[in-house]
């Protein structure tokens, strides 16, 4: 990653960390229902890639790190630049995927409801364990 791009990414991550309120505790059962929006492209309970990478163990994983999945250059660079899928980062990404990692190839507009995002993150934390 070029230095200007790395600096810009670090500034974006720092700004997001400061300006984003803490993620409210979600309901994993409600999140399983919310995951229906994701199910066509992702699997959360087993390590099987589809159009999107599997999401088993997503919390704490470096972005762009699932083996045998062809990520966009933008997602690979985000991971190389230090992006780790924390609960807050997942929430921000789900709210605006194209804005959080510009140039990623996920064709999903995002979820606008913070409660639904919190539920989805709670489900992703519990799925596949």
SS3 state of residue 49: coil
Residue 15: per-residue pLDDT: 44
Residue 17: per-residue pLDDT: 43
Write out the two tokens for 106.
């996920």
What is the pTM for the complete model shown?
0.80
Consecutive 10-residue averages of pLDDT for the chain (129 residues): 50 45 78 96 96 96 97 98 98 97 95 97 89
Which residue carries 């992702």 as its tokens?
42
Residue 106 CA to residue 81 CA, distance in Å, equals: 19
**Topology of domain 3-126, per CATH?**
Cytochrome Bc1 Complex; Chain D, domain 2 (1.10.760)
- CA neighbours closer than 13 Å in the CB half-sphere of residue 61: 17
Residue 16: per-residue pLDDT: 46
Residue 25: per-residue pLDDT: 81
Residue 21 CA to residue 24 CA, distance in Å, equals: 9
Q: Cα torsion at 46, 27, 100, 39 (round to 10°)? A: 40
Residue 1 CA to residue 44 CA, distance in Å, equals: 30
């Amino acid at each position: 990653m070029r230095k200007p791009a790395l600096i810009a990414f670090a500034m974006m991550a720092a700004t997001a960390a400061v300006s984003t309120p803490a993620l409210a505790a979600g309901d994993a059962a409600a999140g399983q229902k919310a995951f229906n929006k994701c199910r066509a492209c992702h699997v959360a309970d087993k390590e099987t890639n589809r159009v999107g990478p599997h999401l088993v163990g997503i919390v704490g994983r470096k972005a762009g790190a699932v083996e045998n999945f062809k990520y966009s250059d933008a997602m690979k660079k985000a991971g190389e630049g230090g992006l780790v899928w924390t609960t807050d980062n997942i929430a921000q990404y789900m709210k605006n995927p194209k804005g959080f990692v510009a140039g990623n190839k996920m064709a999903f507009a995002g979820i606008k409801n913070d409660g639904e995002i919190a539920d989805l993150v709670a489900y992703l934390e519990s799925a596949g364990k």
